[in-house]
Each structure stands twice: as structure tokens, then as C-alpha cells.
Structure 1
Amino acid sequence: MGTLKHKDYSGTVEYNENDNCLFGKVIGMNKNVITYEGKTVEELKADFEAGIDLYLESCLERGVKPQKPYSGSLNIRIPSELHSQLALKAQMTGRSINAIIKDLLTSKQDLLNA
């Protein structure tokens, strides 16, 4: 499965063998659904971009703030010992646990791009 990107939004690329059609939906939106399809990659990309543009125009016309694909807030479950180590490190350095985790993830971002 591939992905498409347009104006900070990402979408899936899937293939339906029965319909001989490419299709997908925008990733990370839980209140709105944007889907798209096409017989060719070019058609799929065009429909994907048009769907996002139409969504953003509709939000603007209605005076509604468009939903961002991801809020930037993440809730994870970790072992209590690791949580304790993070809290101790945060206290010793005068930083928040969130700041430490953000720095750790940022330093390992190359793993996400592999």
C-alpha cells in the first residue's frame, strides 16, 4: 500500500481487483471522511487532491476550522519502570516528560522514514 500527500494531508492507495480500480481515504481524520478513486494513478491523485481542496473550501464557506489529520497529542502505554525513569529524568533536568519523549522520538526519526 502506498500513500499520497497534499496540503499536510496523507492518504492511502489501495487496489480493488474486482472493479479494476484504485481507491483510498485520507489518513488520521476521525470526524470527517475523504475518499477518492481512479482507474489510473493520475486519476487517483487528481481525485485525492480535489477531495482535500473541496473539503477545505467547504470548511471555509461554513466558517468551520478544518480538521487536522493529527492533533499532535498521543497517549501511549509504557511499563511503570520506564515511566518512573522518565519522570526522574524530567525532574532532574527541569523538563517535562513530554519534552524528553519528543526529543527522543525526534532523534530517532530516521527509523520512521526507513
Structure 2
Amino acid sequence: MNTQNTMTIDGHRAVITFDPEIQMFRGEFLELNGGADFYAKDVRGLQREGKISLQVFLDACAEDGVEPRKSFSGKFSLRVDPSIHQAAAIAAAASGKSLNQWAEEVLRQAALA
């Protein structure tokens, strides 16, 4: 996985962005089944606050009997410009794959690189 702008805390990945209005970094755990975000001015603070936010979220899930991780079906809709659709279909056919197989390969390379 591309680690740019991400941080792993206790096995959970968070995306890190900078909020210029408050001059702080924001972390958000995106693989969770609800909101668990945290703020800090530096990496050490992000790690500390992320652990706290994650634990509060996991405790609340356990208390309520809720699965903390999002589930993904493996299906999603994608809208693109018709010229991109055409080019992707041609690229897929040229590589001997269905458009779905080709798109999955391209997405895997981009997301897990």
C-alpha cells in the first residue's frame, strides 16, 4: 500500500491531512464502521491521539455489540468520461482481459503499490 499520508495505529490505517485553519494534522480511520478521527500538531501527537480515539471507538463498538470494521462487498459503480471508458475497454481487450479484470488489476496496482 502507498504509505503517503497514512499512518498505522494498532493495526488500523488512518489517512492524515493538514487543516490549515486550525494549523493541525487530522487523522481519520477509514476502515472503521463509524467516525474515529483525531487531531495533533505533530507525528508523536497523532500517534498518541490516534490510539486514544481508536480505543474509545473500539470500546463503544464492544459495548453496543457493533462490528468495528466496515465490510466491503467487492462491488462499486464508477462513472467516467465516455472516452476513458472506450480507452479502458480497448486496453482490456488488447491485454486479453475483460474490462472488469483489467480494472481490478489497475486498481490493485494503484491502491497497493
Give the TM-score normalised by the residue count of structure 2. Answer: 0.58
- Deviations, residues 34-86 of structure 1 (Å, cap 9, x unaligned): 22123432122110122122212211221111142x73543212425357659
* Counterparts of 1:57 and 1:96, CA distance in 2: 44
Q: Any conservation in 2 of the 1:12–1:27 contact (CA below 8 Å)?
A: no
SS at match of 1:11: strand
Relative contact order, higher structure (CA 8 A, sep 6+): 2
1:43 pairs with 25, 42, 45, which one?
Answer: 45
Name the amino acid aligned to 1:2: N
Q: Any conservation in 2 of the 1:23–1:35 contact (CA below 8 Å)?
A: no
SS at match of 2:7: strand
Gaps of 5+ in 1: none
Coordinate RMSD, CA, aligned: 3.8
Identity in percent: 19
Name the amino acid aligned to 1:3: T
* Counterparts of 1:30 and 1:8, CA distance in 2: 8
Aligned residues: 103
**1:31, distance to aligned residue in structure 2 (A):** 6.5
Aligned to 1:2: 5
Q: Any conservation in 1 of the 2:6–2:13 contact (CA below 8 Å)?
A: no
Cα 1:12/1:64, change in 2 over 3 Å: same
* Counterparts of 2:75 and 2:12, CA distance in 1: 17
SS at match of 1:65: coil
Aligned to 2:110: 109
Gaps of 5+ in 2: none
Give the TM-score normalised by the residue count of structure 1. Answer: 0.57
